[in-house]
Amino acid sequence: MSTASSESASDATASSGPILRPKPVRCGGTVFFKVEEIVFEVPRYRFAEHSEVFEAMFQLPAGTDGTVEGRDEDHPIELKGYKAIHFNSLYKVLYPTYLRIGKG
């Protein structure tokens, strides 16, 4: 009797169509910022989410030489006139859980 109910349960699952799976979360990669003499590598999704300026900047095409500002450590987005300590504080606000990984 338990076998029959197991079979009917598996038949119902198989006949109900494809299994729905959650869509993968895409963070949009990383972006490199240079503040003072420090290059920060950070996830870019919150910068785009909270700033129309960064969102538009991240969608610009590559320059004539093929480089994209912020895409790698050699071509960071330079934030002139700002302090690295202040950018680090902004990073902590935007990504608080990243700072807690591996810390007791």
pLDDT 10s digit of each residue in the chain, 104 long? 555 555 555 555 555 677 776 665 555 688 999 999 999 999 888 888 888 998 898 888 888 888 889 989 999 999 999 999 999 999 888 888 755 544 44
Rounded Cα gap, residues 75 and 69, in angstroms = 5
Phi and psi at 54, nearest 5°, equal -70, -40
Phi then psi for residue 87, to 5 deg, are -65, -40
Q: Which has the closest alpha carbon to 27: 11, 42, 12?
A: 42
For residue 66, give the 3-state DSSP assignment. coil
